[in-house]
Amino acid sequence: MTGETDTQAVTGSTGVPEELLLLRRATSAVANAGDLADALRDVLHLVMQRTGWLAAAAWLCEADALLPSGDVGALDVDVATTAWRHNRVAWGYNNVAVPVLAADELVAVFCFNVGVRTVHDDAMVDVVALVTAHLGSQIRRRQLEDRVAAVQHELARYNRELEAANEDLRRSNADLVEFAYVASHDLSEPLRVISGHVQLLARRYEGKLGDDADRYIAFAVDGCNRMQSLIKDLLEYARVGQSPLATKDVDCNRVMDEVMIGLSSAIADGGADVQVGVLPEVHGDPGQLRELFANLVANAVKFTVPGEVPVVTVAGVPDGRYVRFAVADHGIGVPERHRERIFRMFQRLHAREDYEGTGIGLAICRRIVERHGGRIEVEDTPGGGATLVFTLPASRKVFG
């Protein structure tokens, strides 16, 4: 950067001290500049106007490095480095470097080419040093403001990219759910035809075609039944994701009464003891909440230790703006390494011969809980077994 001599300013013929004039204009330049680089350039230009010096440049102090701000031209970086390391004015052959401080922190170094050094230059260095002592905090503030602006710009860009990715994901999920619904629905009809004919074969020809034929027919019937269960659960999973939530304040005690009636046969067949505490109200979709509790209680009754009476407890307590529920059993438990896996589609930890099911029930439960803004996870039950812990929004009567 080069400058031209401002004779009136140098002589101070206005009657105002030179350092005060320079400080006033430099302060205004820093305040009005577009960014830190512009502010530094404007201040250096004002100094050259006052002093008649030939060129100027600035270095910023960043951690353990001295970084140039803009074009430093032929100015002596060694002189700037000396001023930076020793925190004092440093002279070279025809260069002078002035440190800029904010409190006790060195924030920048100004370097000038004075041409042929004179007594006038020594006096002007003192003026510039006084000015920079007042400008340091302003420059530091602009430096921080620029950093904040840069971070905000990056965050805005990341947010836009994240929103675009989320929108793509929402579209993909909607497409997958729709595909699952259509595919499952379309598969049901031909499967019913196949299942009907296989069952007809079983009724008409069982015991007439030999043991091998009976075994093959039994395999076919079992396969059709399992496929029908899979399609039914897949349709249910798709339906949970497709249908909009019809939320309202829900009495979970009434929901559990309906669940207990619906599971009465399974509970009686297993000889289970299902204990339900007094449950708080929540804000949600009654139909989906009924399905959620039914799946969890049915799982707790099913996955029991052979020969033992299933004991299941259902409890719920307020937890801030949510209600924390726990469905606990003393059954076979869930190993820690599988606690995420069990919430995925078609994931089974046990042979179908040991415990029936399609491996979709807990995936449906997670989908319901997350659609309500909650979380679900597995914990150990004291004394053995597994506890499904999940959160649902509290009643609007409590928080509005």
- Sign of the torsion angle spanned by Cα atoms 318, 322, 328, 334: negative
pLDDT of residue 255: 92
Using CA atoms, how far apart are residues 229 and 233, in angstroms rounded to an integer?
6
The pTM of this model reads 0.51
Q: Which two tokens stand for residue 174?
A: 């909607």
Q: Which two tokens stand for residue 329?
A: 């059993």
pLDDT of residue 181: 67
CA 350 vs CA 230, 298, 353, 356, 392: distances in Å:
17, 16, 8, 9, 29
Span 186-227, pLDDT tens digits: 677 777 777 777 788 878 877 777 778 878 888 887 777 777
Q: What phi-psi label fits residue 92: left (phi over 0), alpha (psi between -120 and 50 degrees) or beta?
A: beta
Span 286-310, pLDDT tens digits: 988 998 999 889 888 887 777 788 8
Q: Which residues contact 312 (CB under 8 A, 6 or more apart)?
A: 272, 273, 274, 275, 297, 300, 301, 327, 328, 329
Q: Which two tokens stand for residue 316?
A: 């719920």
From first to last of the 400 residues of the chain, give the pLDDT tens digit.
554 444 343 444 444 466 677 778 877 877 777 777 888 888 888 888 888 889 988 888 877 788 888 787 878 888 989 988 888 999 988 899 999 888 878 888 999 998 888 888 888 888 888 888 777 777 777 778 777 888 898 898 999 988 888 887 777 766 666 666 666 666 777 777 777 777 888 788 777 777 788 788 888 877 777 777 777 766 777 677 666 788 899 999 999 999 999 888 888 888 888 999 999 999 999 988 998 999 889 888 887 777 788 888 999 999 889 999 999 888 776 777 766 777 766 555 544 544 455 567 788 888 899 989 999 988 888 878 788 899 999 988 766 5
pLDDT of residue 10: 41
* Beta strands per DSSP E along the chain: 55-62, 65-69, 90-91, 95-102, 105-113, 248-250, 273-276, 282-284, 311-319, 322-329, 376-380, 386-393
